[in-house]
Amino acid sequence: MAEEEAASTSPGKDELRRLIVAAGEELRAARAGGDSGAGADVLARLLDLKQRYEALTGEEFRTKSVKRSRKEAAASGAAPSAAQPNPNPPKRAKQAKVDLGRFTPAADPMQLPPPASSFPPWAPRDFFRFEVLHTSRKPGSRARVGRIHTPHGVIETPCFVPVGTNGALKAVDEAQGREAGTQL
């Protein structure tokens, strides 16, 4: 008698599938909300439902993917049911052809480039500038410290010093260096 009551009140295979899917959605919502306490309760209920499903059917619960259901239908030779999506979805609509007449014709590779006078003249741009903060007072030195202003921000520059190493100046003696006005 108790077994008959349990059998009549226990959900069937389809009902268990529906409950498992609903519990899975509830668990995802709880995890997204950040509530770990409710998530643990829902997870325990979901695992219990999956165990009951396995005991009832003898197989592990797995959601059916569209690919798997199409393969099963093709293997059995059955026509796709109304519940399954269209096995051959409509293709994307083709785009209109591009009007090639609106483009300029291809340039002749043997044609000479345009003259320099056809380009706009050089004009200083206010968004790129160099500001000198300090210049060295040492005789013969051109070292300076400044700022480079760009559209991306300001760059603080270190000392810019034209330098020649002794290795590069091996062939220059002191007299030639003094004549050139350089400081070694």
* Containing structural domain, residue 138: 129-180
Interval 11-29 mean pLDDT: 86
Q: Report how far apart the first and last C-alpha atoms of the chain are (Å, whole number).
A: 111
Least confident stretch, 25-29, 47-51, 95-99: 95-99
d(CA 59, CA 136): 85
pLDDT greater at residue 88 or residue 96 = 96
CA contacts within 13 A on the Cβ side of 101: 1
pLDDT averaged over every residue in the chain: 76
Percent of the chain at pLDDT exceeding 90: 4
Kindly state whether residue 11 falls inside one of the protein's structural domains.
yes
174 domain residue, yes or no: yes
pLDDT at 173: 78
The whole-number pLDDT of residue 69 equals: 62
Q: Please check whether residue 83 lies inside any domain of the structure.
A: no
Is residue 67 included in any domain, yes or no?
A: no
Assess if residue 7 is contained within a domain. yes
Residue 146: closest CA among 26, 136, 49: 136
Would you say residue 107 lies in a domain? Answer: no
* DSSP one-letter code for 82: T
- Residue 24 CB burial class (10 angstroms; 0-12, 13-18, ≥19): middle
Q: What share of the chain is helix, strand, coil (3-state, %, to 5)?
A: 40, 10, 50
Kindly report, residue by residue over 125-157, the tens digit of the pLDDT. Answer: 777 888 888 888 888 887 788 888 888 888 888
pLDDT in tens, 34-88: 776 778 888 889 889 989 988 888 888 776 655 666 666 666 665 555 555 566 7
Predicted local distance difference test score (pLDDT) of residue 83: 52
Q: Evaluate whether 145 touches 134 at the Cβ level (below 8 Å).
A: yes
> How many domains does the chain fold into?
2
- Closest by CA position to 133, among listed 150, 148, 145, 149: 145
In the chain, % of residues over pLDDT 70? 71
Q: Which of 41, 57, 73 is the last residue of a domain?
A: 57
pLDDT score, position 66:
57
> Would residue 86 count as lying in a domain?
no
DSSP 143: -
Structural domain includes residue 108: no
Q: Write down the pLDDT at residue 106.
A: 78
Task: Average the pLDDT over 106-112 and give the result.
Answer: 87
Residue 136: per-residue pLDDT: 84
